[in-house]
């Protein structure tokens, strides 16, 4: 949305434009299985426009009269350097920070589009479809596996760990860069673990990234 601005966890604005939000579908096997989807042979890529981004720290407004809106909690990667056909080493140097995101999906709309063999953008790219948290500098996260969670009304709903990704972060972004040049300010969403479901007005969502970032929000 027009007033979205990347921020660090401490509230300091990041003076980077938000361009595109690059996403990968079915990057956790158990999530693909829970929706009865086949596991793709190569990364399943799609893009959300910049207008999909809103601040996760603000209440979530659900679209009206378009069916179920599902949450998909994902690790978000903030790009700080241009990447074109990049190596994994170049990708590592280009990662500026990490955060959390909700890949909101109009599930009924998506199901109809899939049945027709049509693209998913109507279900994935609507205004407000990508609530983004503030970011944590990349060097504040562990070198190995990264862990994140989502609780809804105090109950654990999703648990994600990068070790379970079918396409790990560095090779995934390198692959993306072979097809789309990534620019500073672009965001990569790295897929959701199992446990997705519909959002309901009045819910409280609590998201945590390791022990370095905690975000709570409400569903209007």
Please state the three-class secondary structure of 96-155 as a single string. Answer: EEEEEEECCEEHHHHHHHHHCCCCCHHHHCCCCCEEECCEEEHHHCCCCCCEEEEEECCE
Mean pLDDT, residues 3-13: 96
pLDDT tens for residues 30-57?
887 888 888 889 999 999 999 999 999 9
CA 35/CA 207 separation, integer angstroms: 22
Q: How many domains does the chain fold into?
A: 1
* Tokens 């979530």 found at: 60
Does 124 map to a domain? Answer: yes
More confident residue, 156 or 38: 156
The closest of 2, 1, 14 to 135, measured between CA atoms, is: 14
CA 169/CA 173 separation, integer angstroms: 6
CATH number of the domain within which 201 lies? 3.90.850.10
What's the pLDDT at 69? 98
Does 163 map to a domain? Answer: yes
Average pLDDT, the chain: 95
What whole-number percentage of the chain has pLDDT above 70? 99
Does 137 map to a domain? Answer: yes
What whole-number percentage of the chain has pLDDT above 90? 90
- The pTM score is 0.96
Does 5 map to a domain? Answer: no
pLDDT tens for residues 80-128?
999 999 999 999 999 999 999 999 999 999 999 999 999 999 999 999 9
User: Do 211 and 129 touch, CB atoms closer than 8 A?
Assistant: no
* CA atoms within a 13 Å half-sphere pointing along the CA-CB vector of 140: 14
Q: What angle do CA 166, 170, 172 make, to 5 degrees?
A: 50
Does 14 map to a domain? Answer: no
Does 12 map to a domain? Answer: no
What's the pLDDT at 33? 82
Mean pLDDT, residues 191-218: 97
Kindly indicate the confidence band of residue 1, based on its pLDDT and cuts at 50, 70 and 90: very low
Kindly indicate the confidence band of residue 130, based on its pLDDT and cuts at 50, 70 and 90: very high
Does 13 map to a domain? Answer: no
Q: Which domain holds residue 57?
A: 21-218
Count of residues in the chain:
220
Residues ≥6 apart with Cβ < 8 Å to 124? 23, 46, 48, 52, 103, 105, 106, 110
Mean pLDDT, residues 207-217: 97
What's the pLDDT at 2? 57
Does 128 map to a domain? Answer: yes
Mean pLDDT, residues 149-159: 98
Mean pLDDT, residues 205-217: 98
β-bridge mates for residue 79, sequence order: 95
């Amino acid at each position: 949305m027009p007033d979205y601005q990347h921020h660090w966890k401490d509230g300091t604005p990041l003076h980077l434009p938000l361009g595109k939000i690059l996403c990968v579908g079915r990057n956790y096997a158990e999530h693909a299985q829970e929706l009865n989807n086949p596991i793709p042979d190569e990364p399943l890529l799609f893009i959300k426009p910049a207008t999909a981004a809103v601040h996760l720290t603000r209440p979530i407004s659900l679209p009206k009269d378009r069916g179920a809106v599902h949450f998909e909690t994902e690790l978000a990667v903030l790009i700080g350097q241009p990447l074109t056909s990049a190596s994994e080493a170049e990708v590592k140097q280009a990662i500026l920070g990490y955060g959390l995101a909700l890949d909101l999906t109009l599930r009924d709309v998506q199901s109809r589009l899939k049945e027709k063999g049509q693209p998913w953008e109507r279900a994935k790219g609507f205004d407000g479809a990508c609530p983004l948290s503030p970011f944590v500098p990349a060097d504040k996260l562990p070198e190995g596996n990264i862990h994140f969670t989502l609780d809804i009304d105090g109950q654990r709903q999703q648990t994600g760990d990068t070790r379970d990704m079918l396409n790990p972060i560095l090779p995934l972004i390198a692959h993306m860069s072979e097809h789309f040049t990534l620019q500073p300010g672009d965001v990569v969403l790295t897929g959701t673990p199992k446990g997705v479901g519909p959002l309901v007005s009045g819910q409280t969502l609590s998201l945590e990234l390791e022990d370095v970032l905690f975000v709570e929000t409400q569903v209007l």
